[in-house]
Structure 1
């Protein structure tokens, strides 16, 4: 199971056997969508280069208002 922190007191769980992806969350209705970022490797390469860290894992969650709530 993967745990995703949505808001200060809310968590979302999903099966860990899925391919790596990120999330976008509506701050109004709290809808959660999977998000695949095509340029993710470039971002990871830049972070590794800038920080000299060896990244073992990461997660990104974007927050905004979905089209249905606009």
Structure 2
């Protein structure tokens, strides 16, 4: 399988290359579940959008349990 490059424009690269993503918060549906360590669904959404292409196969090691 050929290795392809991820295409990000300069603004997006700067936004995502910082060490802390403070804009990722719990969604309103996650807030009321009562679990002390609720996984923010925006995190895998962002990582998948950055590091994969349309029609790529993405492995979910947790098989959809919880947030994916």
Q: TM-score, normalised by structure 1?
A: 0.23
Higher strand share: 1
Higher helix share: 2
Q: TM-score, normalised by structure 2?
A: 0.23
